[in-house]
Amino acid sequence: MSIEHYLPPDPKDWDVCKLFKAGAIDTWERIKFTRSINRLKILETTITQNLVYEFKLLQEKYRLRGFRLYESRDEKANGSDLMLWVQRDDKIIRYALQAKIIYQKKKKLYDGHYQQLEHIVKKSGEAQVDLILKYGRTHKCIPLYLLYNYVTRVLPSVTQMSHYGCSIVTAQFLKNNHTKLGSADLKNDVLFSELHANPSSKTQPAFPWHELVCNLSKELEDIIIYESPNNLHILSTRLQDLAIDENWIELSSRKQTESGKRRAFNERTNQEEVFNPKYMFFANLDENSIQ
């Protein structure tokens, strides 16, 4: 397991925060490897599936008490759409994550752009960013873009660049600041350097994704509160009130069934319809231990 390579040697030293950091480092190194060698290609669906697969193996091998993985019961769920539920201080915050990978021109790995941010859903004619914002309002969760990254640029304020292998930025920030002129859709040339700890900017729109499950910084907490008026992101103080079993089933490594094959087919045919998460990560920071 490649993610295990970036975790501390002793599993007793692991926690959910370190698990997400390791996932980001692995993503950074995976993109670095594919972008540094000709004729290799990697997509956001590949990375998402890798994170789900390896997190599940680690969960089964080491009994991660503070972490669970679920899959949607909806056969039309999309493979690159994720939910992250975080329980902290007896409150649960839900995040909707739309994954996008960085693109780079050959031999120009010092920066990159997110060309797939520009996305009009053919069936409805709506911008994808509007669909995830609508999902956030309907399901009382915070809509984020999950960015998969690798660049050779070194930012002065960052001690470990590979922690930005998985970063998050709010969908509302992108909608407010990176919409194409005369369109509801996002631009396709938003740069890594525009979003990540830009020393020439007073703002830091994007954060490493592990900050959602580590010690929530005041800056990120302010952004979360601002992006979710009336505290709609706080659903319940009791997990049982959320009725996980009605919509989700705990992910297992069981043999694929005929229904599983149908689900894979529907994923391809329906993936552009709406934001419809296929997997859910549940991090219980009130039980943040391994064994």
pLDDT at 255 over 70: no
pLDDT at 225: 66
The percent of residues above 90 in pLDDT, for the chain, comes to: 43
Q: Give the distance, in angstroms, between the CA of residue 272 and the centroid of all CA atoms in the same chain.
A: 18
For residue 116, give the amino acid letter.
Q
Residue 252 has pLDDT above 90, yes or no: no
Q: Rounded to the nearest 5°, which phi and psi values hold at 252?
A: -130, 170
The C-alpha atoms of residue 118 and residue 185 are separated, in whole angstroms, by 6
Question: With 70 as the cut, is the pLDDT of residue 264 above it?
Answer: no
pLDDT at 87: 85
Mean pLDDT of 7-25: 92
Q: What pLDDT does 89 receive? A: 78
Please tell me the number of Cα atoms within 13 Å of 88 on its side-chain side: 16
The per-residue pLDDT for 187 is 95
Q: Indicate if the pLDDT at residue 218 is higher than 90.
A: no
Tell me the average pLDDT across 21-36: 94
Q: Is the pLDDT of residue 171 over 70?
A: yes
DSSP string, the chain: -TGGGGS-SSGGG--HHHHHHHHHHHHHHHHHHHHSSTT----HHHHHHHHHHHHHHHHHHH--TTEEEEEES-TT-EEEEEEEEEEETTEEEEEEEEEEE-B--TT-TT--B-GGG--B-TTT--BHHHHHHHHHHHHT-EEEEEEE---S---TT-S-GGGGGEEEEEHHHHHHHSBPTTSSSBPS--BHHHHS--TTSS----EEGGGGTSS--HHHHHHHHHHSGGGTTB--S-GGGG-HHHHEEE---PPP-HHHHHHHHHHHHHTTSS--EEEEEEEEGGG----
Give yes or no for residue 1 having a pLDDT over 90: no
Q: Among residues of the chain, what percentage have pLDDT more than 70?
A: 80
Would you state the structure tokens that stand for residue 208, as one six-digit string? 């490493």
Signed CA dihedral, 278, 283, 289, 291: sign only: negative
Instruction: Give residue 234's pLDDT.
Output: 54
For residues 276-287, give the mean pLDDT.
88
Confidence of residue 238 (pLDDT cuts 50, 70, 90): low
Q: How far is CA 285 from the centre of its chain?
A: 18
Instruction: Kindly indicate the confidence band of residue 291, based on its pLDDT and cuts at 50, 70 and 90.
Output: very low
In this prediction, residue 63 carries a pLDDT of 79
Q: Within 13 Å of residue 38, how many CA atoms lie on the same side as its CB?
A: 1
Q: Provide the pLDDT for residue 273.
A: 58
Flag whether pLDDT at 290 surpasses 70.
no
- Answer yes or no: is pLDDT of 259 > 50: no
What pTM was estimated for this model as a whole? Answer: 0.87
Of 77 and 166, more confident: 166
**Sign of the torsion angle spanned by Cα atoms 37, 43, 48, 53:** negative
Mean per-residue pLDDT for 24-49? 90
Return the pLDDT at 276: 87
User: Is 101:116 a contact under the CB 8 Å cutoff?
Assistant: yes
Residues 59-118: tens digit of each pLDDT: 888 878 789 899 988 877 887 789 999 888 777 888 999 999 999 887 788 899 999 999
pLDDT of 11 reads: 85
Mean pLDDT of the chain: 81
Determine the pLDDT at residue 270: 44
Q: In the predicted model, what is the mean pLDDT of residues 196-214?
A: 79
| Residue predicted with more confidence, 140 or 223 | 140
